[in-house]
Amino acid sequence: MRLIFLLIILFFSKQIVFAQVEEHQVSYTTASKDTLRVDRSNQPIAKKAYDYKLDSSLFSVLRFENDSLVLYKLRLSYMFGNLVPETKTQLYQLLHSKNQVDTSRVMVIHYQDTLRAISYFPEKSKTVYAKDSMSHRHIANHQAFINQHKNCLKKNKRGRRNNVYHFFGYNEGHPAAFDKILWKKDHLGLVDQIYRDSYDRFNTIILHPDGTFVGYNYNDDTGKIYQDLIKGKRWELYKADFEKRVKALDAM
């Protein structure tokens, strides 16, 4: 049975749509399609248990779709980990030599797959709504994009024992340095390879000098847990609570 659902997910991920969304944002076009929900181990899950997990802060959802079926797969919203010594040595040496990263301090890495060329950005920031008007996305102009990065650096600078870095996988032509903002190339794709679950990379990583880390999918870092983790506070407490809650939810 497990193999069957793995094959289903592989089929969807290679041929159809791959997006991280809230289920209530699905457009009217999915109304006539069958729906399948699976947990993070790819096993079918009842809607009540699915909704309960999704309502917690521990899970988000990946959505796959074809002509006849919509598949929702739960994934962890954040993840604690610890680099094995060999991986830690290789990564830290690369970060230090290629990106001038100070690995003796807490590293906060914000990662984007593609650094867009300046010409890509619209003249004015705008909001784009889906056809069903139930979901939307914000598209920033270039100045707003730069201001977001400045605010990020300013917010994470005040008396903290960490450095913030903005990484990218591919550059479409944007200057690597612009208005005192620096972007760093993920050489060999190591950051992308290491800090991910089985489907996608986390877009924010808090990495400590000893190799302990947490990855999550929010860039604004407004939640108290993330502020504490960036400061290195209550790490073991949050980690233990996370593992306890995940274990309880997985037992449903």
Final residue before a domain boundary, out of 31, 46, 76: 76
Tokens of 105: 């301090």
Backbone angles phi, psi at 104, to 5 degrees: -85, -5
Average pLDDT, the chain: 81
103 with 185, same domain?
yes
Amino acid residing at 11: F
* DSSP-based three-state secondary structure for 234: coil
- pTM: predicted TM-score of the whole model, two decimal places: 0.76
Do 161 and 238 lie in one domain? The reply is yes
- Work out the average pLDDT over 107-123: 94
Pick from 76, 42, 44: nearest CA to 59: 76
**Do 123 and 204 have their domain in common?**
yes
pLDDT score of 132: 54
Evaluate whether 9 touches 64 at the Cβ level (below 8 Å).
yes
Task: Give pLDDT tens digits for 68-83.
Answer: 888 898 888 888 989 9
| Statement to judge: residues 72 and 83 lie in one domain | no
Rounded to an integer, the average pLDDT of 27-54 is: 80
Rounded Cα distance, 193 and 189, in Å? 6
Range among 120-124, 129-133, 231-235 rated most confident: 120-124
103 and 69 together in one domain: no
Rounded to an integer, the average pLDDT of 138-159 is: 85
Do 146 and 41 share a domain, yes or no?
Answer: no
Q: Say yes or no: 15 and 116 in one domain.
A: no
pLDDT band at 29; cut points 50, 70, 90: very low
Predicted local confidence at residue 225, as pLDDT: 80
- φ/ψ (deg, to 5) at 197: -95, -160
Residues 94 and 217 in one domain: yes
Both 89 and 157 in one domain: the answer is: yes
**Statement: residue 237 has pLDDT above 50:** yes
Average pLDDT over residues 38-43: 86
What percent of the chain has pLDDT above 90? 42
Residue 185, SS3?
strand
